[in-house]
Copies of this chain bind each other. A is one copy, B any other.
Amino acid sequence: MNFTEKLRKTQHTQNSLLCIGLDTDIKKIPKHLLKAENPQLEFNKIVIEATKDLVCAYKLNLAFYEEYGVKGWDTIEKTLELIPEGIITIADGKRGDIGNTAEKQASALLHKLNFTSATISPYMGFDAIEPFTASQQKGAFVLCVTSNSGAKDFQHLKISGKPLYEHVAIKSKKWNTNQNIGLVVGATRISELKKIRHIAPEMPFLIPGVGAQKGDLEQSVKYGCTNEGDLALINIGRSIIYVSMQRIFDNKVREAAEYYSHTINYYRKKYYSIV
């Protein structure tokens, strides 16, 4: 089964487009966890346990773990072991390099760590992306329009009348012969999201920026899904995982995840003919 089919299947089975961002910052987690041997892992365990039936994916922002060196890398490995088989995992590291190095990156993230997919920066072009797409069942999310202010520095520059991000979308679509390339499109960029979904009607879209970054959830669902009302991954991190600093916080995390998962499904029903 290729990555796109696998994502679609997971979204249908779980009845969810929600991706939870495990960007675990120990400065923001309940204080009693700091006494644990590995506070990041302990926190992730509780969040995963509380939400695993409500999501289609978990995204790990690698830098939040790499900050702790060897220990952080170990936390990534152990966190992945806690995620049920069938749920999509995304190594969010914005990788991409010359061919022989990109092969090592893909090997590290998709095979050694066994993530289902990874995010890739397109600046170095096709050979930087190709090793991530060599296995059909593994996926690559190519940065297209990002949610940050710096997105305007280069992504919006016009080339032959079209902004750079459209060229990225068009080429990524062309390269998608294995049906395992997706695009990253920030929820803070709705008009761009609409255009890009038009360019690539059948590709998976990873949509960060709802919640703390104030992206629009309704519009993200309306314009981010395919005609079948799926293949958008709505990523929410801080607004779910940091909702409570109490000793017992799993119920609050679950409530927040339910709120987002249900609200997304409400909009899916509103705009697409899904039941």
Contact = CB atoms under 8 A, between A and B. Distances in A.
Contact of A153 (B101, B102, B126, B158): B126
A125 B149 contact: yes
A148 B98 CA distance: 6
Contacts of A128: 148, 150
Contacts of A123: 121-123, 143, 146, 154-155
Contact of A69 (B73, B104, B122, B149): B73
A121 B127 CA distance: 15
Contacts of A275: none
Q: How large is the interface on A (under 10, 10 to 19, 20 to 34, 35 or more residues)?
A: 35 or more
B98 A146 contact: yes
A148 B155 CA distance: 21
A25 B73 CA distance: 20
Given A69-B73, A94-B97, A157-B159, A124 B104 contact: no
Interface in A60-93: 61, 63-64, 66-70, 72-74, 77
A166 to B, nearest CB: 11
A96 interface: yes
A13 interface: no
Given A73-B70, A147-B98, A148-B127, A122 B64 contact: no
B99 A63 contact: no
Nearest to A68: B112
Contacts of A167: 154, 157
B125 A150 contact: yes
A66 B105 contact: yes
A236 to B, nearest CB: 15
A142 B146 CA distance: 18
B143 A104 contact: no
Given A23-B101, A66-B108, A121-B123, 7 more contacts: A69-B112, A94-B95, A98-B150, A127-B149, A154-B164, A157-B164, A164-B164
12 contacts: A63-B101, A66-B109, A70-B77, A94-B95, A94-B97, A98-B147, A98-B213, A123-B146, A124-B146, A126-B150, A153-B171, A158-B160
Interface of A: 23, 25, 61, 63-64, 66-70, 72-74, 77, 94-99, 101-102, 104-105, 107-109, 112-113, 121-129, 143, 146-155, 157-160, 164, 167-168, 171, 213
List the 4 closest A-B pairs by CB distance, nearest first: A125-B150, A125-B153, A63-B104, A66-B108
